[in-house]
Amino acid sequence: MSGEPSKTLFEKIIAREIPATIVFEDELCFAIRDINPVAPTHILLIPKKPMPRLCDAVPEDQALLGHLMLIATRIAEAEGYGDAYRLVVNNGAASGQSVFHLHLHIIAGRPLKWPPG
Protein backbone atom coordinates (compact mmCIF):
# COMPACT_ATOMS: atom_id res chain seq x y z
CA MET A 1 0.00 0.00 0.00
CA SER A 2 1.18 3.48 -0.77
CA GLY A 3 -0.11 5.05 2.42
CA GLU A 4 -1.81 7.80 0.41
CA PRO A 5 -5.48 8.43 1.17
CA SER A 6 -7.84 7.09 -1.46
CA LYS A 7 -9.53 9.56 -3.76
CA THR A 8 -13.17 10.43 -3.22
CA LEU A 9 -15.69 9.71 -5.92
CA PHE A 10 -15.66 13.39 -6.88
CA GLU A 11 -11.85 13.53 -7.09
CA LYS A 12 -12.02 10.55 -9.47
CA ILE A 13 -14.60 12.40 -11.58
CA ILE A 14 -12.42 15.54 -11.61
CA ALA A 15 -9.50 13.37 -12.78
CA ARG A 16 -11.80 11.86 -15.47
CA GLU A 17 -11.25 8.40 -13.98
CA ILE A 18 -15.02 7.93 -13.60
CA PRO A 19 -17.52 9.21 -16.18
CA ALA A 20 -20.18 11.73 -15.27
CA THR A 21 -22.52 14.09 -17.07
CA ILE A 22 -20.73 17.40 -16.54
CA VAL A 23 -23.00 20.43 -17.02
CA PHE A 24 -20.55 23.13 -15.92
CA GLU A 25 -16.84 23.47 -15.22
CA ASP A 26 -14.42 26.28 -14.48
CA GLU A 27 -11.07 26.52 -12.70
CA LEU A 28 -12.66 26.29 -9.22
CA CYS A 29 -15.57 23.89 -9.53
CA PHE A 30 -17.62 21.61 -11.69
CA ALA A 31 -21.23 20.44 -11.76
CA ILE A 32 -22.65 17.04 -12.66
CA ARG A 33 -26.10 15.53 -12.92
CA ASP A 34 -26.92 13.41 -9.87
CA ILE A 35 -27.24 9.73 -10.78
CA ASN A 36 -30.07 9.33 -8.24
CA PRO A 37 -32.10 12.53 -8.75
CA VAL A 38 -34.80 13.54 -6.27
CA ALA A 39 -36.33 16.02 -8.72
CA PRO A 40 -36.36 16.60 -12.50
CA THR A 41 -33.30 18.79 -12.04
CA HIS A 42 -30.76 17.54 -9.49
CA ILE A 43 -27.23 18.76 -10.07
CA LEU A 44 -24.24 18.45 -7.77
CA LEU A 45 -21.93 21.48 -7.63
CA ILE A 46 -18.49 20.44 -6.43
CA PRO A 47 -15.39 22.51 -5.64
CA LYS A 48 -12.20 21.13 -7.15
CA LYS A 49 -10.41 21.85 -3.88
CA PRO A 50 -10.84 18.81 -1.63
CA MET A 51 -12.84 19.82 1.45
CA PRO A 52 -14.57 16.96 3.28
CA ARG A 53 -17.40 18.97 4.87
CA LEU A 54 -18.60 22.55 5.00
CA CYS A 55 -17.47 22.75 8.62
CA ASP A 56 -13.92 22.05 7.40
CA ALA A 57 -13.84 25.36 5.50
CA VAL A 58 -11.35 27.96 6.69
CA PRO A 59 -11.41 31.74 6.23
CA GLU A 60 -9.32 31.38 3.06
CA ASP A 61 -12.24 29.41 1.52
CA GLN A 62 -14.64 32.36 1.72
CA ALA A 63 -14.19 33.37 -1.92
CA LEU A 64 -14.59 29.77 -3.10
CA LEU A 65 -17.79 29.33 -1.10
CA GLY A 66 -19.21 32.57 -2.51
CA HIS A 67 -18.22 31.45 -6.01
CA LEU A 68 -20.18 28.22 -5.51
CA MET A 69 -23.30 30.20 -4.58
CA LEU A 70 -23.04 32.42 -7.66
CA ILE A 71 -22.39 29.45 -9.95
CA ALA A 72 -25.37 27.59 -8.43
CA THR A 73 -27.60 30.48 -9.50
CA ARG A 74 -26.08 30.51 -12.98
CA ILE A 75 -26.68 26.76 -13.35
CA ALA A 76 -30.27 27.02 -12.07
CA GLU A 77 -30.93 29.81 -14.58
CA ALA A 78 -29.41 27.74 -17.42
CA GLU A 79 -31.70 24.87 -16.44
CA GLY A 80 -34.72 27.18 -16.54
CA TYR A 81 -35.21 27.52 -12.76
CA GLY A 82 -33.53 30.84 -11.98
CA ASP A 83 -36.18 31.89 -9.46
CA ALA A 84 -37.30 28.52 -8.03
CA TYR A 85 -34.64 26.09 -6.85
CA ARG A 86 -33.23 24.72 -3.62
CA LEU A 87 -29.61 24.45 -2.53
CA VAL A 88 -28.77 21.70 -0.06
CA VAL A 89 -25.48 21.09 1.73
CA ASN A 90 -25.26 18.01 3.92
CA ASN A 91 -22.56 18.35 6.58
CA GLY A 92 -21.56 15.01 8.08
CA ALA A 93 -22.95 11.49 8.00
CA ALA A 94 -25.82 12.24 10.40
CA SER A 95 -27.12 14.86 7.93
CA GLY A 96 -27.07 12.43 5.02
CA GLN A 97 -23.66 13.22 3.56
CA SER A 98 -22.33 10.09 1.85
CA VAL A 99 -19.42 11.49 -0.18
CA PHE A 100 -16.98 13.37 2.01
CA HIS A 101 -16.04 16.06 -0.47
CA LEU A 102 -18.11 19.22 -0.07
CA HIS A 103 -20.88 19.54 -2.66
CA LEU A 104 -24.08 21.51 -3.13
CA HIS A 105 -27.25 19.90 -4.42
CA ILE A 106 -29.17 22.12 -6.86
CA ILE A 107 -32.73 20.77 -6.85
CA ALA A 108 -35.61 22.05 -8.97
CA GLY A 109 -38.41 21.12 -11.29
CA ARG A 110 -41.11 20.05 -8.83
CA PRO A 111 -42.83 21.61 -5.83
CA LEU A 112 -40.52 21.43 -2.80
CA LYS A 113 -41.99 21.24 0.68
CA TRP A 114 -40.76 22.68 3.95
CA PRO A 115 -39.31 21.41 6.14
CA PRO A 116 -37.19 19.09 4.00
CA GLY A 117 -36.26 15.62 5.14
Please list the active-site residues.
103
Give the Å distances, CA to CA, from 54 to 38, 80, 91, 100: 22, 27, 6, 10
CB 43 within 8 A of CB 79: yes
